[in-house]
Amino acid sequence: MGKNTAQGINVGVDVGKHQLDVFIHERNIHFTEENTPEGVRRVVSRLSRYTLARIVAEATGRYERLLVDEALRRSAPIVVVNPLQARRFAGAIGQIAKTDRIDAAVITQYAALVQPEVRPINRNTRKIKDMLVRRRQLIEMATMEKNRLLIMPKTQRVDIRRHVLHLQKQIGCFCSPWVWRCN
Q: According to the model, what pLDDT value does residue 4 have?
A: 41
Give pTM, 2 decimals: 0.72
Report the SS3 class of residue 41: helix
Predicted confidence (pLDDT) per residue in 44-88, tens digit = 999 999 999 999 998 887 899 999 999 989 999 999 998 888 888
> Do 132 and 104 share a domain, yes or no?
no
For residues 122 and 100, what is the distance between their CA atoms, to the nearest angstrom? Answer: 29
Four-residue CA torsion sign, 142, 148, 154, 155 = negative
Which of 114, 143, 167 is the last residue in one of the domains?
114
pLDDT digits (tens, 9 = 90+) for 115-152: 988 887 777 777 888 888 889 999 999 999 999 999 99
Range of the domain at 23: 3-114
Together in a domain, 59 and 81: yes
